[in-house]
Amino acid sequence: MNTAIRHMITVTTIAMPIDAKLLTLTQWLSPAFPVGAFAYSHGLEQAVCDGWIHDAYTLNEWLVDIARHGSGMSDAIWIRLAYAAQSDAELDALNAQCRAYAPCAERLREGQRQGQAFARVASEVWGLALPNLQLPVALGSAARQMGLSPDSTITLYLQSFLGNLVSAAQRLMPLGQTEAQTVLAQLNADCIALAQASDGKALEDITSSAFLSDIAAMRHETLQPRIFQS
C-alpha cells in the first residue's frame, strides 16, 4: 500500500469520534458477555415443540407479542426503575418485586442466574457495586453507576434479548441465517419505540398479556427431552 494512503487511513481512523460508553454497553449486551443467555429460550422451545412457531413469520409474530405485551416492555420498565433507584434499600425492594412478578419458576431462574452472572463480571471488571439481582434490575443499576444513557441501555438490551431468542429458534427449527437476521432487523423499530415508551412509567404500569408465552414457559418445566433451561 502507498505510504501516503496508509498515513491518510491511520489519521482518519484516529480522528473518528468514539463513544466509550456505547462500547461498554455493547460489550455488556453482546452474546459473548458471560451471562449464559444462550442456555435460555424463554419458553420458545415449548412453543416450537407445540407447533405454535414453525417459520420466520410465526417467529416474528411471537417476538412482537413478547416485546410489546410481555417481557420486553416489562423489562424495559424494570431497567428504567432500577436506573432511578436512589438507595440500596430501594434497589433491593425493587428486585424483590421483580422476582415476584415472574410468572413461573423457569422465568424466575432465568432472570436470577443471568443477573448474578452479569453482576459478578461487571463488578469485577468495572469496579461496580452490584449485589445479586435479577438481570434487568442489575443492568439498570449498572447503567446508572456508569453514567450510561437509559434509552440506549434499554434499546440495546431489547435487541440483545430478542436476538438471543432468534438464535434459539435457529437451533430449534429450520431457519436460515438470512431469515433470522431479517426477523431481528424487523424488530429494531420496536426496540426503539419500547425504550421511549418506558420513560415515565411506574411500577403499576408493569403488566403482561403475552399469555401463550407465559404458558409455554410453564409447560417447558416438564418438557422432555429439551436443550434449553427455559
d(C-alpha 78, C-alpha 143), whole Å: 13
Q: Residue 13 falls within a domain, yes or no? A: no
Mean pLDDT, the chain, as a whole number? 92
Average pLDDT, stretch 158-178? 97
* Residue 11 in domain: no
pLDDT, tens digit, 9 for 90 and up, residues 36-50 = 999 999 999 999 999
Q: Tell me how many domains the chain contains.
A: 1
**How far is 1 from 9, CA to CA, in rounded Å?**
11
Q: Which residue has the cell 413469520?
A: 57
The domain in which residue 40 lies consists of 21-222
- Of the pLDDT bands very low, low, confident and very high (cuts 50, 70, 90), residue 9 is very low
Domain assignment of residue 84, yes or no: yes
How far is 74 from 72, CA to CA, in rounded Å?
Answer: 5
pLDDT, residue 130, reads 95
Whether pLDDT at 146 is above 70: yes
What pLDDT, in 10s, does the model give residues 110-141? 999 999 999 999 999 999 999 999 999 999 99
Q: Please indicate, yes or no, if residue 101 is contained in any of the structural domains.
A: yes
**Nearest C-alpha neighbor of 147 from the set 196, 194, 83:** 83
Q: Are 76 and 194 in contact (CB under 8 A)?
A: yes
Q: Is the pLDDT of residue 163 over 70?
A: yes
Higher pLDDT, 19 or 23: 23
CATH number at residue 41: 1.10.4190.10
* For range 9-34, the mean pLDDT: 74
pLDDT of residue 12 exceeding 90, the answer is no
HEC letters along the chain: CCHHHHHHHHHHHHHCCCCHHHHHHHHHCCCCCCCCHHHCCCCHHHHHHCCCCCCHHHHHHHHHHHHHHCHHHHHHHHHHHHHHCCCHHHHHHHHHHHHHCCCCHHHHHHHHHHHHHHHHHHHHHHCCCCCCCCHHHHHHHHHHHHCCCHHHHHHHHHHHHHHHHHHHHHHHCCCCHHHHHHHHHHCHHHHHHHHHHCCCCCHHHCCCCCHHHHHHHHHHHHCCCCCCCC
pLDDT value of position 18: 61
pLDDT higher than 70, residue 145: yes
* 4 confidence band (pLDDT: 50, 70, 90): very low
Out of 17-31, 75-89, 93-107, 202-216, pick the least confident.
Answer: 17-31
202 in a structural domain: yes
- For position 10, what pLDDT does the model report? 39
**Residue 69 domain-assigned (yes or no):** yes
Checking if the pLDDT of 33 tops 80, the result is yes
| CA distance from start to end of the chain | 52
Mean pLDDT check: name the lowest of 9-13, 82-86, 218-222.
9-13
State the pLDDT at residue 19: 78
Q: For residue 20, what pLDDT is reported?
A: 85
Q: Give a yes or no: residue 8 inside a domain.
A: no
Query: For residue range 63-91, what is the model confidence (pLDDT) as tens digits?
Result: 999 999 999 999 999 999 999 999 999 99
Tell me if 86 is assigned to some domain.
yes
